[in-house]
Structures are given as C-alpha cells and as structure tokens.
Amino acid sequence: MPENKKPNRRDFMKTSVKGAIGATLATVGFPTIVPAAVFGPNAPSNRINIGAIGLGRISREHDMFETLKYNHANIMAVCDVDSKRLKEGKQYVNDFYSKKYGKPYDGVKMYSAAQELLNNKDIDAVLISTPDHSHAYLGVLAAEARKDIYLQKPTALTIQEGRALSNAVHKQGCILQIGSQQRSSTQFRYAAELVRNGRIGKLKEVLIGLPKDPSGDVEPEMPIPSTLNYDAWLGPTPYLYYTEKRVHPQNDYSRPGWMRGENYCAGMITNWGAHHIDCAHWAMNTEYTGPKEVWGTAVYPTSGLWDVMGDFTTYGLYENGVKMTISTDLPNGIKYIGTDGWIFVSRGAYTASASDPVATNKNSKALDASDPKILSSVIGPDEIQLYKSYEHHGNWLDCIKTKTPPISTVEMGHRACSICLITHISMKLNRKLNWNPKTEKFINDVEANKMLARSQRKPFGVDYIKNF
C-alpha cells in the first residue's frame, strides 16, 4: 500500500483476515468461509458490504435474491439509471432486512450513478446486473475502485472490452465471479468430470443446443420517461431514439427488449451460449484457450426493432481435434460425444424466468448418457476432481473472505465469451475464420479483426476510463 494512502475498511478487512486464513488455505482444497470463532459471529468485519448496480429482473430474481440469503453479506447500497427502479430496489432490500430482523429497516443508500457508488469506501464489493453492453465498462470501473465483483455474463460484447476487463481485474487483484452459475450446478460439474476422466473414451465432438429469439415489429419513438437517464442507459452505444421495447418495461420486471438488440446484446449466442460454452470448456480442459477455426450461418430479421439472429448454426475446431457445434436446432444443453459413448447435460426442467424463450426439448433430464452405468460412475480420489461450488453467489462471498479464485474467474469468462463473439463475427461475415487464441486475433483477415472492437460513445466505455 502506498505510504500516503489512508487505509480504508476494505484494506482493514483484508489485513485482519490474512493470518487467520493462512492455515486454512494450506489444508483445504477449495474456498471455505473462515469459522465464525475467528471473527466473532456478530463482528462487523465479518460482513461484506455490497452495492448492487442494476436493479432489473436478473438482480431481483437472481443476484440480490441469492446474495441476501447469506448472513455475512450486507447489501448497503443500490444503483440504477432508472429512478423508479432505484426506489423499488431500495425498498426490495429494506423489506428483506425488515422481515429478517423483525423491525423496520432503512439502511440502504441510493445512487443514480455507478461511479458515485464505487467512490464509497465502505463498500467492499459490487453486484453488476446491468444490460450486457455496460458489463465491461462497469467492471473495469469497479476493478479500478478496488471492489470485488460479481458480474453477470457475458463479460463483454467485444474481444477488446473483455481483454481490458480481465487485465484490470488482474492488475488490481480483485475477486471477480462471472455469473456463469451452471458451474455451481452438480450435474454440469459431474458431466465435466466424467468427460475429463475418460468415461466416454476420447472426446471427439461437443454439441450445444440453444434457444432462439423471435423478431418483432417496428416500434415508434416514444417520449423518454422522466425517471430514466437514457443517456447513461445507452452508455458506450450509439444514440438511438427511445422506445420502451428497446430498453426495459416501465411497469414490471419481465424480460427486457434490449436482449434482442445487437447494440446491447449479441443474442442467444452470448445469452445462453456463454453458459454452455463455459461448461463445455470445463469438460474439454480448454478454459484458457479457444478454437483455431470457426464458421457459421444465421438468419437475421429483415425488419422490425430487434436485430439479433434467429436460427443459427456455428462450428469450431480446436487444436485437440474436438469439433464444437452450436445450434438452435439442437436440444438446449451440452452433448459430449466420445469414442465410447455420450453424455448429455442440461438444466433439466429449469427455466431462468417465465418470459425467457427456451429451446424445444422434450427430454427434461438434467443428465443422460448412452449407457446408464456411466452416470453411476464414482470419481476416484486419484482421478481429476473439479472445483466444487454449490451456490454461485455463496462461492463468490467465500472467496472474498479467503482471497482465493472463485469457480468462474474473469479470464475463464472472457475466454468463453470470446467463442461467442468470434462465432458471432463468422455468422455476420458468413465465412470461415482462422483464430489465434494466444494473440486473440484472426489470422490474415483485416475485415474480421476490425470487428474485435467497436467505437465507444464518450464519456462511456473502457477507452475513456482515467488511469487505465
């Protein structure tokens, strides 16, 4: 720590727990909560002060919802560019704590700008549950503010932004958990362990099935709601006229329209694809690399407000010879095909929300195989045993305490997202592309390489973050 820097609460927490957790980390293979006896069950330093940035559907139904379950987590601040959602988000947290403590609670601060929340030295960590186009920008801001971060996937919408995010997190030493919560689902881990330990022989092919987004109608320009800072919501993206379906519903928390606009989301290739590709990389042992070739085709809307792809199929070929197919024509999930059989893994009957599109999949089994005996196989103590986490937000909180890597690190998230983005480029160009995962550039393709970054509207975007 620089001599002239005044220690803040975050520095104090890290210093005070360092000695206590040293012995624990030496003997335990996976992150664990430091016993309450070390801190005292009610010690303030045992609680992680959290700010929630983005208070829409995913925050309320997933990120804040899950984080609030942990006694060592204290959501003390909320932030949103929509003042209506901001007030409702504060009420959401206050109501939870009022019920928990059995008395009125009003301890949540409101911020209309993320940077103002990040300037609060009492905040140790942040949940970033905003639209996709702001993930990298806000993630870098949070890293530069030295906050630990839970960041919804995908990491970014360009390779350049994703690399900037990973670099910033590593520079500052933050604990960042990517919201790829399938890694904390037992069936996805077990399927990966079975593949890694040769239960289906040599892995040859991976089939990933995804849902698709429908097109929509032309939507007229509408007055910007007085409660919405539309300029801040657009962030680094080009200015387009406001219409409610381009942003989010004003009167409920159903699935927002931005998820079908390419300025803000790459469609299902990043929406569901980031999850499945991440888990596939886990099983393939390719978490820090990528394919050498990608190619694919897609059908894009010819009219209407929304412009993400509908039906699509893409392919990737890895250095180890494994071929990955990603398609809306396949059942939603991951199928690993080896020389001695296959394994299929999915979320089963789970749906993220009632308003989400889902792939046609009559088989609701979370785990299936060519031979039932494969699924009764025990992973032995001398075999590959993968990182175990049973709830994604809890794992993040554990790792903040222990200062150990979470199950979904920023680089893992960046690499999984990279596959989404380069296949998206191949679909846009409608041709095969040769990729170098080490340099993160296409080989001998100027046109494709120009699509690895995009212009950012001032003052938003990673290009305009001071001292970065």
Q: Are residues 271 and 361 in the same domain?
A: yes
Paired tokens of 460:
């938003």
Q: Which domain holds residue 158?
A: 9-182
Is 221 contained in some domain? Answer: no
Helix, coil or strand: residue 312? strand
Cβ proximity of 327 and 316 under 8 Å = no
Task: Please give the C-alpha separations between residue 112 and each of 68, 167, 244, in angstroms, as whole numbers.
Answer: 21, 27, 20
Domain boundary among 182, 205, 229: 182
Q: How far apart are CA 148 and CA 134, in angstroms?
A: 17
Domain boundary among 134, 162, 182: 182
Is 156 contained in some domain? Answer: yes
Q: Are residues 337 and 295 in the same domain?
A: yes
What's the structural domain count of the chain?
Answer: 2
Walk along the chain (468 residues) and give the pLDDT tens digit of each residue: 443 444 455 544 444 433 333 333 333 333 333 333 344 444 556 899 999 999 999 999 999 999 999 999 999 999 999 999 999 999 999 999 999 999 999 999 999 999 999 999 999 999 999 999 999 999 999 999 999 999 999 999 999 999 999 999 999 999 999 999 999 999 999 999 999 999 999 999 999 999 999 888 999 999 999 999 999 999 999 999 999 999 999 999 999 999 999 999 999 999 999 999 999 999 999 999 999 999 999 999 999 999 999 999 999 999 999 999 999 999 999 999 999 999 999 998 544 444 445 544 555 589 999 999 999 999 999 999 999 999 999 999 999 999 999 999 999 999 999 999 999 999 999 999 999 999 999 999 999 999 999 999 999 999 999 766
Paired tokens of 325:
């197919």
pTM of the model: 0.88
Is 416 contained in some domain? Answer: yes
Is 278 contained in some domain? Answer: yes
Q: Are residues 295 and 440 in the same domain?
A: yes
Contacts of 215 (CB under 8 A, 6+ apart): 301, 303, 304, 306, 310
Residue 319 burial by CB count (10 A; 0-12/13-18/19+): exposed, middle or buried? exposed
